[in-house]
């Protein structure tokens, strides 16, 4: 159903107010609360998604489903979650697999319902609330990083003797970097020309001042992509998809030889990235043992690295729960068929971005590039907070950056 058709239907004003206030409260607290309690971002997204979908269902007596290619891709991933382990003789952990697939399904349905969630809402007011949230979040992040986490210590009850690593705020930095883009685009569409630049600078400053190298790299990449996305949006979208597809398809072979290709990686890279090269190497070698179907959700937890190979690593000595690279993780868990399945919704996302008005289209392409950078070097694909950040970012573009976003 098109947005125009949705707006033409009669709406219950009470349920529209429910949708507005759920979004308003969620957008206002998502980043500030998430910085202080990183796991809260997953809880907030899940709660907001359920309430918003509930309101849509009460109005329509149905829920919008993702497009057919996305449904097929999810179905393939669902099948591979069971077929891969059974075919390869790997353990199948249903208690871990089903909740992760359930959260992914919730995310897909929620972002697909964006037009119905947005119908009749005052996008400018929501964008202003998100901008306020980002400014408050950046202030909290600065206080926590530069003054040894006083707010976190106060709310958690931890004393001064407890060490609080600055890295615990990395997910908050990630949320700041990604969510500044839909907020900036929405404010620009609403006719506010100064605030968008201020928001993007706030996101960049927050990323550079924190401990998250992936957030800082993503913020820089997003800003570099922006001019090209403004001038050549179709080319930029195609280039992002093509580069991502090539890297995803070739990841196991690239990383299986990465330590040979970069023999001086220990001296060239920071320890965290150097360790990631070793993790990618070990996971990629395991991928090549069963490249078609994968080994199931959470395969990295039970990855058996040969002793000789482990001894050759300088930093990767203890098991890790995920490979810190989305492509390698998808290969490891779902194989080649999983990679092909994931490329379908990625392409649909690029096409959906192409339908946005400028500069929202350019902002969305910049955010997509930033998200792909983070996914390539940082979080696991099933981490609930990461999925919550992704879900909120896509939903914000769908709700706030509409053709009628300047109207109330």
Which tens digits make up the pLDDT trace of 159-191? Answer: 777 888 888 899 999 999 999 999 999 999 988
The 8 Å CB, 24+ separation contacts for 81-88 are: 81/296, 81/297, 81/333, 81/334, 82/296, 83/293, 84/290, 84/293, 84/294, 84/295, 84/296, 84/333, 84/334, 84/335, 85/295, 85/296, 87/290, 87/293, 88/290, 88/293, 88/294, 88/295
**Quick one: pLDDT band at residue 193, thresholds 50, 70, 90?**
confident
Residue 103 in this model has a pLDDT that exceeds 90? yes
Annotate 266-297 with b (16+ C-beta within 10 A) or e (fewer). Answer: eeeeeeeebbbbbbbbbbbbbbeebeebbbbb
Q: Quick one: pLDDT at residue 8?
A: 40
**Quick one: pLDDT band at residue 404, thresholds 50, 70, 90?**
low
* Cα 394 from Cα 111, distance rounded (Å): 6
* Cα 387 from Cα 298, distance rounded (Å): 16
Q: Quick one: pLDDT at residue 5?
A: 44
Q: How many residues does the chain have?
A: 408
Single pTM value for the model: 0.92
Q: Quick one: pLDDT at residue 11?
A: 61
**Quick one: pLDDT band at residue 148, thresholds 50, 70, 90?**
confident
pLDDT digits (tens, 9 = 90+) for 310-367: 888 999 988 889 999 999 999 999 999 999 999 999 999 999 998 888 899 999 999 9
* Cα 288 from Cα 311, distance rounded (Å): 20
Residue 390 in this model has a pLDDT that exceeds 90? yes
* Cα 216 from Cα 370, distance rounded (Å): 10
């Amino acid at each position: 159903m098109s947005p125009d058709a949705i707006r033409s239907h009669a709406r219950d004003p009470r349920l529209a107010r429910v949708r507005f206030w759920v979004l308003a409260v969620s957008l206002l607290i998502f980043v500030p609360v998430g910085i202080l309690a990183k796991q809260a971002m997953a809880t907030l997204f899940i709660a907001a998604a359920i309430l918003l979908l509930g309101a849509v269902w009460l109005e329509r007596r149905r829920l919008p489903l993702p497009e057919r290619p996305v449904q097929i891709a999810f179905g393939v991933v669902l099948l591979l979650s069971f077929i891969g382990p059974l075919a390869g003789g790997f353990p199948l952990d249903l208690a871990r697999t089903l909740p992760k697939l359930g959260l992914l399904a919730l995310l897909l349905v929620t972002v697909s319902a964006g037009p119905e969630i947005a119908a009749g809402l005052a996008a400018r007011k929501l964008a202003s609330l998100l901008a306020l949230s980002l400014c408050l979040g950046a202030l909290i992040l600065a206080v926590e990083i530069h003054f040894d986490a006083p707010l976190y210590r106060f709310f958690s009850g931890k004393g001064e003797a407890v060490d609080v690593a600055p890295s615990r705020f990395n997910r908050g930095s990630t949320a700041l970097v990604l969510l500044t883009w839909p907020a900036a685009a929405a404010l620009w569409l609403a006719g506010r020309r100064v605030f968008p630049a201020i928001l993007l600078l706030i996101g960049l400053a927050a990323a550079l001042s924190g401990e998250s190298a992936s957030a800082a790299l993503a913020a820089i990449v997003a800003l570099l992509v922006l001019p090209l996305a403004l001038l050549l949006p179709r080319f930029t979208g195609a280039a992002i998809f093509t580069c991502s597809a090539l890297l995803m398809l070739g990841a196991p072979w690239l990383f299986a030889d990465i330590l040979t290709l970069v023999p001086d990686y220990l001296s060239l890279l920071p320890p965290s990235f150097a360790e990631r090269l070793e993790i990618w190497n070990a996971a990629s070698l395991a991928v090549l043992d069963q490249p078609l179907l994968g080994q199931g959700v959470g395969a990295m937890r039970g990855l058996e690295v040969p002793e000789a190979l482990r001894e050759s690593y300088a930093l990767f000595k203890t098991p890790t729960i995920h490979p810190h690279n989305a492509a390698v993780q998808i290969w490891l868990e779902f194989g080649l068929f999983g990679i092909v399945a994931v490329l379908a919704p990625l392409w649909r996302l690029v096409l959906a971005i192409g339908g946005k008005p400028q500069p929202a289209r350019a902002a969305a392409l910049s955010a997509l590039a930033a998200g792909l950078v983070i996914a390539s070097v940082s979080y696991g694909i099933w981490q609930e907070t990461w999925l919550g950040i992704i879900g909120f970012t896509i939903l914000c573009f769908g709700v706030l950056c509409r053709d009628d976003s300047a109207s109330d």
